[in-house]
Amino acid sequence: MDPDDTDPFRLIPARIHEAQGQGRHVFAIFQAARHGGPVFWIRPVRSRWTPYPGGLPKGLPGRLHLVRTRSETDLLWSAEETLRAAPAGFVLAEPERPLSLTAGRRLQLAAESGGTTGLMLIREGAGSNATESRWHCAPVPAPQRGMATQRWTLVKNKRGLLGDWLLDWCPHDARPRLLDAAELPGVALNQL
Amino acid sequence: MARRLLCIWFPRLASQASLRQSPAQGPFALTLRRGNSDHLHCLDPLAEAQGLSRGMALADARAICPDLTTRPADLMAEMQALSGLRRWAMRYSPLVARDGSAGLAADITGVAHLFGGEEALCQDLQDRLLRARLDGISAIADTRGAAHAMARHGGGILPPGQVSARLTALPVAALRIDHGTAEALDRAGLCRIGDLIAQPRAPLARRFGQGLLMRLDQFLGHQPEPLDPETETPSFGTRITLPEPIGLQSDVAAALQRLLERLCARLAAHHRGARRLRLELRRVDRATATAEIGLARPMRDPARIAPLFAPALSQIDAGFGIDALRLTAPLTEAQAPAQIALTAQERHQDALADLLSRLGNRLGFDAILRPLPADSLVPERSFLLAPAAFSQPGKWPAPSLRPLLLGGPEPLQAQSRSGTPPGSFGWSGRVLTTLRAVGPERIAPEWWLDDPGWRSGIRDYWQVETRQGPRLWLFHTPQAPAWHIAGEYA
């Protein structure tokens, strides 16, 4: 169903997607850099990590808005409100608790009415069935110095096939470089 | 036309303003700390009748009058009371200025006939002050100096052109000269203003300074003395009083709509936009409920502001009904008039500001942050997080090889030879082994800032790739050997 077969990482617009795994933040920043307009990153106030503007892709720090919430309800409300607003370009949210089907569905409806794409950064297995797609992201040791290798696996897709990709992407790069499994000894791609 | 100046002196302004706030029984005085002791600052008539006077030490006053009630003087409140009276006095003249710390001066040239003459004006003024329970002495004369002197020496109205003929008996201290000069004049035998007028000017100037002659000339009207009325800052507030109490949310919303239209029209007339709006709802039982909202940027469009009040209005307890509403804009900013035909870019900006307002009114405006570049090589201080509603995006330098995420440094349970990263270390419940490390990059603390996080001295930063995948940013502090995780590349 994906109209652009050459770009496997394109998220279907005006829908909610999910990313899990150790490398989900890289995936989030990769996707945020590809979407235009203001980016909203909604996270709990007690979260230990903050995005470091010095390392983000070019143009992203100026568009980034960090929203800090005190409770899970506030976080979901902010995400819904932001998705529903037309000017938001891309919405990232980090819920702490598993997303219920109701919450997922509400976010999905908000994204549709606002025409905004959203990405939920979830813990493993804490996603909602209402999601459009779910990505498992993990960093992989690079074969040589200067590469930043990632393995992004599409584990759920409502409108298409699943997939498993190895790629090399630094925040400076405009587009990722897909790698072959042969280039990385010790890593086997799932044949999906 | 001859100028006519009105001066009002409030001999007991500070104490009466304080007593209006909270009444007290018996003799009352305000005290002001000067040097090491308290002195009486302002007294009420009862205390004056006991023989106390302004400037007396509080200890002496207590000895004379043991049941004296005192409060510390609040000079700020006194100034506010005077500025309130200044606004009130605008009913008599458009030009009203403060005259000292407890007086007002107004230019009533060509105004008095509106009140039925100067006597009627003074009578009206005294009646109103009496009703407000404020002591005030008013005087009208040709010059500001003369009116000032008369107000402090009994008040009254001086017919035009009579200053030099009728006011010669006033003491020289009435000339607004400093205390030392007045005493020196007294010692020289020049006690009255009439004595001064009779003296040759040159010796007076040589002995007492040019200031004395300037005050004398201003008093007599030989030298002009303009008033300096303060510019009136517009107040942005509207109110509505209802004949019957209302309790329905839709009724309150309709009343708010009317208030907003009026307030926004006034904001537009002054080219200003509101940043905060406060709605006060007075209930029948005299209790007041308030709803306050913030706006992400100056705004004066009722249609866009009204929805922001909706969540706050639904929380309000109307009790037995609401019979008065008051809408104020405590915080406003300049907003130039804009064309109605908005471009897509402006519509986008408006919609974004609306979104920030909605988020800010629930989460607080300090919870929506925007990174701004800062001039520092220390990673934690190379950017600032500023409230998005009160800042503009900054210009960022080109990205460098820095981690994507930065954390408060986490100590690492690891041993290593000094200088190079440890071979393996534990992190977030996993044991990671180092595959390759790039570094070190040494960053020295900014010695001119005392940052507790940087007390351990210089840091050597390493980019460490692990066999398990995570790429981390570690640092070593050679001056206090320890390893920490500073950030995460992936």
> What pLDDT, in 10s, does the model give residues B222-275?
998 888 888 777 889 999 999 999 989 999 999 999 999 999 999 999 999 999
Q: What is the CATH number of the domain that holds A36?
A: 3.40.50.300
Q: Is residue A110 part of a domain?
A: yes
Chain A, residues 82-101, CB within 8 A of chain B, namely 82, 85-88
pLDDT band at A2 (very low <50, low <70, confident <90, very high): very low
Nearest to A148 among B405, B435, B490 (CB): B490
At A160, the amino acid letter reads: G
pLDDT band at A92 (very low <50, low <70, confident <90, very high): very high
Q: How far apart are CA A10 and CA A23, in angstroms?
A: 17
Residue A30: predicted pLDDT: 92
Please indicate whether, in this complex, the C-beta atoms of B404 and A48 are within 8 angstroms of each other: no
Q: Is residue A101 part of a domain?
A: yes
pLDDT at A179 over 60: yes
Asked if the C-beta of A185 comes within 8 angstroms of chain B's C-beta atoms, the answer is no
Closest CA–CA distance from residue A11 to any residue of chain B (Å)? 20
pLDDT at A1 over 60: no
Q: Is residue A52 part of a domain?
A: yes
Residues of B in contact with A38 (CB under 8 A): 352
Please indicate whether, in this complex, the C-beta atoms of B348 and A87 are within 8 angstroms of each other: yes
The residue ranking higher by pLDDT, A47 or A106, is: A106
Strand partners, B325: B240, B281
CA B333 to chain CA mean position, Å? 14
Closest CA–CA distance from residue B243 to any residue of chain A (Å)? 39
For residue A41, the enclosing domain spans: 16-183
Asked if the C-beta of A23 comes within 8 angstroms of chain B's C-beta atoms, the answer is yes
Nearest to A49 among B401, B406, B435 (CB): B406
Q: Is residue A89 part of a domain?
A: yes
Nearest to B404 among A29, A65, A66 (CB): A29
pLDDT at A3 over 50: no
Instruction: Give the chain B residue nearest A82 (alpha carbons).
Output: B355
Nearest to A52 among B369, B395, B405 (CB): B405
Asked if the C-beta of B374 comes within 8 angstroms of chain A's C-beta atoms, the answer is no
Q: Is residue A5 part of a domain?
A: no
Rg of the Cα trace of chain B? 35
CA proximity to B172, closest of B144, B200, B158, B153: B153
The tens digit of pLDDT for each residue in B130-160 reads 998 899 999 999 999 999 999 999 888 999 8
Residues of chain B with pLDDT under 70: 1, 340-341, 417-418, 490
Chain A, residues 146-175, CB within 8 A of chain B, namely 148, 150, 171-172
Give the rounded percent of residues in chain A with a pLDDT score beyond 70: 93
Tokens of A6: 């050459």
Chain A, residues 48-67, CB within 8 A of chain B, namely 48-58, 61-67
Mapping DSSP onto H, E and C, the string for B321-361 reads CEEEEEEEEEEEEECCCCCCCCCHHHHHHHHHHHHHHHHHH
pLDDT band at A106 (very low <50, low <70, confident <90, very high): very high
Q: Is residue A1 part of a domain?
A: no
pLDDT at A4 over 60: no
Domain count, chain A: 1
Residue A17: predicted pLDDT: 95
Q: How far apart are CA B323 and CA B285, in angstroms?
A: 10
Q: Is residue A9 part of a domain?
A: no
